[in-house]
A and B are shown apart, each in its own frame.
Chain A
């Protein structure tokens, strides 16, 4: 039996080389003699093809059964929609019983108002209200449509032309709300892959715009030009493709969060050196800075063409609502179809556009409003000199006077609480309304908390001194108690 097996094996071993080398004289296919190795190669080829055609191995998938999904859904417990309400969240704002002019009525009492950025004192201006009344009578209150769909009223176009003419730019575009101006304009020009170098102290409207643009955002230290230069250097050196990307510097002319003035001359120098475009938010500086109120560019004597995009909210010096963006025709026209807050929102109520036109007219007719405002700021500064526990953090030219704690407690919330108690005290005891800074949970700004005083051209010297005096009393009382002085 065993010998037979051996025999067969021996025979087959003999056969294999034989088969490979055998001269199959007869096996000629289409004139090609088929050698032994062809057979082997053919078999291998078939094997390769078969293997390639087979599906790759995957562990068998076991989808969740309906019952399992049901159970998971049953088990899922969502968080509550909002976190529990704490005492500090319940904040009752002061309720005005009059217009928000330099003097307001709160709870039947006359109060000096430093919480409205009514820089030129145009709130309550007869001429302004008259023009608005005419406009309201003619056009109604709302515009009932976005700009594209019969929401363009002729006063909108007049207002755009007026703003452009006032600032010396080729064209401008109106937005229906101040805060939406920046967060619509920025994503219209900055897309994924673009580089934005931005001050860390910018307000939420800009922050949101940066987020929505999906660009690469690099922050530099608040109003620190050395830090800006280093950042620009780093960004351009690091990135070989930088010259192919759109690059922007985003700054505020007068920072809402600190009252600081941006040194525009340095910005222009750096912008030209590193070839960045500048997006400047002039919300608090239009109608305030410069010889005739044309904003930061006029103040620094920089030609307005050097700034590529200027945005501004009109709810400050111009004493109306809404916002605008101005720049070259290209910049403005691009927004008319690409800026979501412009395209997808109802337009500005026509009477507010009229208000903006009239406000600019009033400013042009009464340039002494500006000197009055400057003078008022100086008076308040003098009054606030040596205020215990607080320092003025804002620029001497800024009508937004920003007081911050000399010795911070280290946390924004605690500082804010402390400052709010001062504001409360000042309102109750001194009949002066000031605004302590509050910060939304979405706001990424890290600047210290402060008390904001919006100086108006409408304030009298007595108003300013009263505010300074009552702030001094309050800070002495509340800060010395806690050892902050």
Chain B
């Protein structure tokens, strides 16, 4: 739980209030202007209603340049950020041909497979030549190649489940599979900070959705007891089934799921568990098998394991791993399997190869080294940031570390100042986070060297002082520095 300091909350609210007031004022003037101009849309309601895009027009556009920065290279540890300029006070941004080389602290390139890899890339290119970029068909009709079959076996074995099904997009995996598993009369209990794809999947399913406090097993138990005891609203019939949906690592918090406790609660109340490992698969655990391995949970206790390949594996798509029967049923009924174009064959090959590297099946120890490096890098970076006095969220071992910014003015300031010093960071604000809890998010990669991290720390510390986001007192410098002076 993030507790926002009282004064910070006040200043943040004040800032948003100010932005809102000025935005309204400008809207008012715009109305006058539009009054004069004859609109050709008589009889049509405006396509974006006034307040719907108020946030975009009046708040987001001011700091648009901090988001969606195009890059002209692979999302490796160093990227070429394309410079942009604006002639209309940030309303539109134009690309230039200039780029600046920046240290990448933004991409989810946890294991460094985003860049060209000596083992994976040649194989992906080979598959591209053999299978073309696309099959132009759904998996059931004519979109299943030998690569797809191999991929599903490989994923199932890697994750530690009997079978798996792969789709071409992580978002679709969640939003198309939840409705197949549960419908009217069912209950989905979802963590309050679950990803939007889960929210949309739950909404699309027609099941009732209840939320439990983020990562709080005791509250989950409370909700479960209450819901089982009272049954469905109005009819009071017992629920058909209950699915508890949690994530392995929360992408905006960097926190690890309290999986063992949650599994225990779910087992006690016979609720099914659905674990979304989008950020944790490949990134944590001794052999990269995700939170289950890290926290010592038997994968047999998790009913549905979902994950994506966009992060650690440097590819695209998502998977569902479960028992053979569940996968058989999903392959029979899931729209993502029946109607969507199959995952691109080279992307499938990239996943297979990267899993082989992680498991050491390529005949080298690179995978193990990558896993050690990402853990060391993450823990080093996190502890250094904390020592400097930043408010860093998340748990040890997690490669995601958000730094709290709070005030809206600090969002662009932090992002722009870091970029000036050639460090590319991600700042996150509403709608991805609650309005008051804007943050910068750093994703550490195994491809970052120690020098990279030291440079990043130096820059972040400097910018942190400038912007004023060191909300905690800095830890006193180590004693030996003083000693050197004494000598």
**Chain A interface residues toward B at CB < 8 A:** 64, 68-69, 72-73, 76-83, 85, 88-91, 93-101, 104, 113, 115-118, 123-125, 128-129, 132-133, 136-145, 147-154, 156-157, 176-180, 183, 189, 191, 203-205, 208, 211-212, 243-247, 256, 275, 277, 308, 313, 315-316, 319-321, 330-331, 333-334, 336-338, 340-341, 343-346, 348-349, 351-352, 355, 433, 435, 438-443, 452, 454
If A128-B132, A177-B168, A180-B172 touch, whether A79 touches B328 (CB-CB below 8 Å) is: no
If A95-B145, A150-B424, A152-B68 touch, whether A116 touches B136 (CB-CB below 8 Å) is: yes
Q: How far is the CB of A169 from chain B (nearest CB, A)?
A: 15
Q: A440 touching B335 by the CB < 8 A rule?
A: yes
Q: List the A side residues contacting B60 at CB < 8 Å.
A: 337
Q: Mark B374-387, 1 if CB is under 8 A from A, else 0.
A: 00000000000000
Q: List the A side residues contacting B229 at CB < 8 Å.
A: 64, 68-69, 72-73
Q: A435 touching B70 by the CB < 8 A rule?
A: no
Q: B169 touching A243 by the CB < 8 A rule?
A: no
Residues of chain B in range 111-151 having any CB-CB distance to chain A below 8 Å:
113-116, 120-121, 124-125, 128-146, 148-149
Q: A355 touching B347 by the CB < 8 A rule?
A: no
Q: Would you list 26 pairs from A and B whose C-beta atoms are within 8 A, ordered by A residue?
A: A69-B228, A78-B241, A93-B140, A95-B145, A95-B146, A99-B135, A116-B142, A140-B76, A141-B124, A143-B114, A144-B107, A144-B114, A145-B75, A149-B106, A151-B75, A154-B72, A176-B171, A177-B172, A179-B340, A180-B175, A189-B48, A208-B175, A212-B200, A330-B48, A438-B140, A440-B335
Extra 9 A-B pairs, beta carbons < 8 Å, given A147-B68, A438-B140: A141-B113, A141-B316, A143-B310, A212-B200, A315-B341, A320-B133, A351-B133, A435-B138, A442-B179
Q: B328 touching A89 by the CB < 8 A rule?
A: yes
Q: How far is the CB of A102 from chain B (nearest CB, A)?
A: 11
If A100-B137, A138-B73, A345-B171 touch, whether A246 touches B146 (CB-CB below 8 Å) is: no
If A116-B136, A128-B132 touch, whether A89 touches B344 (CB-CB below 8 Å) is: no
Q: B137 touching A94 by the CB < 8 A rule?
A: no
In the complex, the chain B residue whose C-beta lies closest to that of A64 is: B229
Q: How far is the CB of B212 from chain A (nearest CB, A)?
A: 16
In the complex, the chain B residue whose C-beta lies closest to that of A153 is: B71
Instruction: Choose among B109, B171, B311, B328 the residue that contacts A85 (Cβ–Cβ < 8 A).
Output: B328
Q: How far is the CB of B306 from chain A (nearest CB, A)?
A: 14
Q: How far is the CA of A10 from the CA of B68 in the complex (A)?
A: 96
Q: B350 touching A142 by the CB < 8 A rule?
A: yes
Q: Which 10 A-B pairs have the closest CB atoms?
A: A115-B142, A315-B341, A177-B169, A346-B310, A435-B141, A140-B74, A89-B332, A275-B43, A345-B171, A100-B135
Q: B70 touching A69 by the CB < 8 A rule?
A: no
In the complex, the chain A residue whose C-beta lies closest to that of B349 is: A141
If A97-B146, A277-B44, A438-B140 touch, whether A138 touches B106 (CB-CB below 8 Å) is: no
Q: How far is the CB of A364 from chain B (nearest CB, A)?
A: 19
Surface stretch bound by A, among B24-32, B267-275, B291-299, B455-463: B267-275
In the complex, the chain A residue whose C-beta lies closest to that of B105 is: A150
If A142-B310, A245-B45, A345-B171 touch, whether A150 touches B197 (CB-CB below 8 Å) is: no
Q: How far is the CA of A6 from the CA of B321 in the complex (A)?
A: 95
If A73-B228, A96-B142, A96-B146 touch, whether A137 touches B168 (CB-CB below 8 Å) is: no
Q: B334 touching A129 by the CB < 8 A rule?
A: no
Q: How far is the CA of A297 from the CA of B311 in the complex (A)?
A: 39
State whether the Cβ of B82 lies closer than 8 Å to any Cβ in chain A.
yes
Q: How far is the CB of A274 from chain B (nearest CB, A)?
A: 9
Q: List the A side residues contacting B14 at CB < 8 Å.
A: none
Q: B335 touching A115 by the CB < 8 A rule?
A: no
Instruction: Choose among B134, B146, B441 the residue that contacts A320 (Cβ–Cβ < 8 A).
Output: B134
Q: B47 touching A277 by the CB < 8 A rule?
A: yes
Pick the most buried of A178, A441, A442, A454: most chain B CB atoms within 10 A of its CB.
A442
If A81-B326, A89-B329, A142-B350 touch, whether A149 touches B73 (CB-CB below 8 Å) is: no
State whether the Cβ of B472 lies closer than 8 Å to any Cβ in chain A.
no
State whether the Cβ of B314 lies closer than 8 Å to any Cβ in chain A.
yes
Q: How far is the CA of A178 from the CA of B172 in the complex (A)?
A: 10
Q: List the A side residues contacting B340 at CB < 8 Å.
A: 177-179, 315
In the complex, the chain A residue whose C-beta lies closest to that of B115 is: A140
Q: A212 touching B204 by the CB < 8 A rule?
A: yes
In the complex, the chain B residue whose C-beta lies closest to that of A113 is: B142
Q: B346 touching A136 by the CB < 8 A rule?
A: yes
State whether the Cβ of B156 lies closer than 8 Å to any Cβ in chain A.
no
If A72-B229, A117-B137, A142-B350 touch, whether A91 touches B108 (CB-CB below 8 Å) is: no
Q: A73 touching B225 by the CB < 8 A rule?
A: yes
Q: List the A side residues contacting B215 at CB < 8 Å.
A: none
Q: List the A side residues contacting B139 at CB < 8 Å.
A: 93
Instruction: Choose among B148, B197, B335, B426 the residue that contacts A344 (Cβ–Cβ < 8 A).
Output: B197
Q: B314 touching A334 by the CB < 8 A rule?
A: no
In the complex, the chain A residue whose C-beta lies closest to that of B181 is: A81
Q: B142 touching A142 by the CB < 8 A rule?
A: no
Q: How far is the CB of B330 from chain A (nearest CB, A)?
A: 8
Q: B316 touching A176 by the CB < 8 A rule?
A: yes
Q: List the B side residues contacting A125 at CB < 8 Å.
A: 132
Q: How far is the CA of A133 from the CA of B424 in the complex (A)?
A: 27
Instruction: Choose among A97, A141, A320, A441 the residue that contacts B180 (Cβ–Cβ < 8 A).
Output: A441
In the complex, the chain B residue whose C-beta lies closest to that of A452 is: B141
Q: A150 touching B106 by the CB < 8 A rule?
A: yes
Q: How far is the CB of B46 from chain A (nearest CB, A)?
A: 8
Q: How far is the CA of A365 from the CA of B166 in the complex (A)?
A: 36
Q: List the B side residues contacting A334 at CB < 8 Å.
A: 47-48, 53, 56
Q: A243 touching B45 by the CB < 8 A rule?
A: yes
Instruction: Choose among A78, A123, A156, A321 the residue that contacts B270 (Cβ–Cβ < 8 A).
Output: A78
Q: List the B side residues contacting A341 at CB < 8 Å.
A: 171-172
Q: How far is the CA of A69 from the CA of B224 in the complex (A)?
A: 10
Q: Mark B419-444, 1 if CB is under 8 A from A, else 0.
A: 00000101000011000000001000
Q: List the B side residues contacting A142 at CB < 8 Å.
A: 113-114, 309-310, 313-316, 347, 350
Q: A104 touching B142 by the CB < 8 A rule?
A: yes
Q: B239 touching A352 by the CB < 8 A rule?
A: no
Q: List the A side residues contacting B70 at CB < 8 Å.
A: 152-154, 156-157
Q: How far is the CB of A196 from chain B (nearest CB, A)?
A: 13
Q: List the A side residues contacting B43 at CB < 8 Å.
A: 243, 275
Q: List the A side residues contacting B130 at CB < 8 Å.
A: 98-99
Q: List the B side residues contacting A145 at CB < 8 Å.
A: 75, 106-108
State whether the Cβ of B333 lies closer than 8 Å to any Cβ in chain A.
yes
Q: List the B side residues contacting A72 at CB < 8 Å.
A: 228-229
Q: List the B side residues contacting A191 at CB < 8 Å.
A: 49, 52
Q: List the A side residues contacting B269 at CB < 8 Å.
A: 73, 76
Q: A346 touching B339 by the CB < 8 A rule?
A: no
Q: How far is the CB of B105 from chain A (nearest CB, A)?
A: 9
If A204-B335, A308-B47, A313-B341 touch, whether A321 touches B134 (CB-CB below 8 Å) is: yes
Q: B181 touching A82 by the CB < 8 A rule?
A: yes
Q: List the A side residues contacting B350 at CB < 8 Å.
A: 141-142
Instruction: Choose among B48, B148, B196, B347 the residue that contacts A141 (Cβ–Cβ < 8 A).
Output: B347
Q: How far is the CB of B401 from chain A (nearest CB, A)?
A: 15
Instruction: Choose among A143, A156, A320 the residue that contacts B75 (Cβ–Cβ < 8 A).
Output: A143
Q: How far is the CB of A211 from chain B (nearest CB, A)?
A: 6
In the complex, the chain B residue whose C-beta lies closest to that of A317 is: B136
State whether the Cβ of B303 lies closer than 8 Å to any Cβ in chain A.
yes
Q: List the B side residues contacting A321 at CB < 8 Å.
A: 133-134, 168, 341, 343-344
Q: List the B side residues contacting A346 at CB < 8 Å.
A: 108, 170, 308, 310-311, 316
Q: List the B side residues contacting A433 at CB < 8 Å.
A: 142
Instruction: Choose among A243, A345, A443, A452 the residue that contacts B170 (Cβ–Cβ < 8 A).
Output: A345
State whether the Cβ of B242 lies closer than 8 Å to any Cβ in chain A.
yes
In the complex, the chain A residue whose C-beta lies closest to that of B106 is: A150
Q: List the B side residues contacting A435 at CB < 8 Å.
A: 137-138, 140-142
In the complex, the chain A residue whose C-beta lies closest to that of B42 is: A275
Q: How far is the CA of A118 from the CA of B134 in the complex (A)?
A: 9
In the complex, the chain A residue whose C-beta lies closest to that of B426 is: A149
Q: List the B side residues contacting A454 at CB < 8 Å.
A: 136-137
Q: B47 touching A100 by the CB < 8 A rule?
A: no
